[in-house]
Amino acid sequence: FHLGVDGGIEVTASHNPMDYNGMKLVREGARPISGDTGLRDVQRLAEAGDFPPVNEAARGSYRQISLRDAYIDHLLGYISVNNLTPLKLVFNAGNGAAGPVIDAIEARLKALGAPVEFIKIHNTPDGTFPNGIPNPLLPECRDDTRKAV
């Protein structure tokens, strides 16, 4: 949405063990590309290997940008900070990528004077997942969160 791009790729293992990796593809408007919405077309193109020559003058470019602030703006657009009552919130990032985002949301809310207290568990990203795989669907992965609540 924010950049108006034609598509995107997220490299993720989702809730799989740490030695897994995969990609989630999206098309314009962040609409998922799945088996029934274009993924089979991508597969056929890749398997055929019949790609036209690249026009070097029209080649795209790569740039790395941070969308964290825009993402936080988007998330906070769902709430009215002025209407918040005191809240104590527990977050378990599972040593995944969400930790720094949670920190940034906390800082933004505090700067806005929101009456919130963040309790953060396993908030530091660590790809070895020392506290277990970050899968909240598994009961054993919810124990630390349950205790904090």
pLDDT digits (tens, 9 = 90+) for 110-148: 999 999 999 999 999 998 899 988 888 889 889 999 999
- Does 16 score more than 80 pLDDT? no
Asked if residue 54 and residue 86 are part of one domain, the reply reads no
Q: Are 92 and 125 in contact (CB under 8 A)?
A: no
Give the mean pLDDT of the chain.
91
| Selected catalytic residue, list 14, 34, 66, 80 | 14
66 annotated active-site? no
Closest CA to 116 of 84, 93, 91, 148: 84
Position 40 scores a pLDDT of 92
Bigger pLDDT: 15 or 25?
25
Position 119 scores a pLDDT of 98
- Would the pTM count as exceeding 0.75? yes
Asked whether residue 64 is domain-assigned, the answer is no
Asked whether residue 72 is domain-assigned, the answer is no
Asked if residue 111 and residue 54 are part of one domain, the reply reads no
What one-character DSSP code corresponds to residue 122? S
What does 108-119 look like in DSSP terms, one character per residue? HHHHTT--EEEE
Integer-rounded Cα radius of gyration of the chain: 20
Asked whether residue 1 is domain-assigned, the answer is no
| Percentage, residues of the chain above pLDDT 70 | 99
Q: Tens digits of per-residue pLDDT, 34-61?
A: 988 989 988 998 999 988 888 889 888 8
Residues 6+ apart with CB under 8 A from 99: 93, 120, 122, 123, 124, 125
67 vs 9: CA distance, rounded Å: 14
Q: How many domains does the chain have?
A: 2
Asked whether residue 67 is domain-assigned, the answer is no
Amino acid at 80: S
